[in-house]
Amino acid sequence: MTQPIISFKNFTFKYDSQAFSTLKNINLDINKGEKILIAGPSGSGKSTIGRCLNGLIPNIDTGDIEGECLVDGKNIKNTNLFDLSFTTSTILQDTDSQFIGLTVGEDIAFALENDCEPQNKIRQTVHRWADELNISHLLKQSPQNLSGGQKQIVALAGVLIDESPILLFDEPLANLDPASGVKTMALIDQIQKELNATVIIIEHRVEEVMSQSLDRIILINDGEIVADKKPNDLLHENRLEDIGVRSPLYLKALEEAGIDVASIPDLTSVAALPDEAEIDNKLQYWLITAL
């Protein structure tokens, strides 16, 4: 049986600066190649899980740990930040804080330069990923002068160049409009398939993340896992708003139009909804009366 690439076992964590535990008795296995959404309201503990995966806990954010968290076989209690950096690459919501180089090209190259790779290999790898992500024309520009969507792609290139087995996205849609968010999710999906990477997305904008397929959605509330489901199963249970996470707008429209959501086989996207006259007529009537 294949070992999970990420495993939390009876894991509890309390920051030194806080009186109570942020994570409580977390049990979670994530297999290699899975794409997982971790969702929950603000302060639920979802970002703390991410900090465990990239080594910020316990190396930077210190606190009390009970139980076990293994990342690619490494126990985070016994692994330094440098060693975990080869396993987990993180894309932050504030991309500006992630930029180091004066130009896009320098920024993408930083990780390989830090690893003392030969200059010819660095140049080849930078140009390969720039071509892959369609940002070759940006290599000589300053990262700070780019649009929000361009910054997100450059930040992605800067971590992809290491080809780590785990890609962690901490609220990647925070500074993007909905259209740019959907494009970013399509790009993440493309890269995940090419690298067969394990992708962890921490986000509360569920609808945009679900514009691409997911293996599971993990719901966190008050430091505990309250659901670990396939997206379609979770949407049929209608539990998102119970913990303060907004449901996809198309689901709310269906409910407002008086359509029996439970009877629809696939709720994961608008495109997956059945093309039935009864549904179309009810939606059209609801739109007319709502306006």
Are the CB atoms for 239 and 218 separated by under 8 Å? no
Q: pLDDT by residue for the chain (291 residues), tens digit each?
A: 468 999 999 999 999 999 999 999 999 999 999 999 999 998 999 999 999 999 999 999 999 999 999 999 999 999 998 888 889 988 876 666 778 778 888 888 887 787 778 888 888 888 888 888 888 998 998 888 888 778 878 888 887 777 789 999 988 887 778 888 888 888 889 888 888 899 999 998 898 899 899 999 999 999 999 999 999 999 998 889 889 898 898 888 888 888 888 888 999 988 888 877 677 777 776 667 765
Q: Which two tokens stand for residue 110?
A: 């930083």
pLDDT at 94: 67
> Which amino acid type is present at position 71?
V
Q: State how far the alpha carbon of 49 is from the alpha carbons of 89, 168, 249, in Å.
A: 14, 10, 27
CATH number of the structural domain 6-241 = 3.40.50.300
Of 35, 32, 28, the closest CA to residue 49 belongs to: 28
Strand duo 216-221 + 35-39: pairing: parallel
pLDDT at 291: 57
Structural domain spans, the chain = 6-241, 248-291
List helix spans (H) across the chain: 46-53, 56-59, 81-85, 104-114, 119-132, 148-160, 178-195, 206-209, 231-237, 249-256, 277-290
CA dihedral 65, 68, 73, 79 (to 10 degrees): 20
pTM of model > 0.85: yes
Sequence-distant (6+) residues with CB within 8 A of 157 are 108, 129, 130, 133, 135
> Which amino acid type is present at position 238?
N
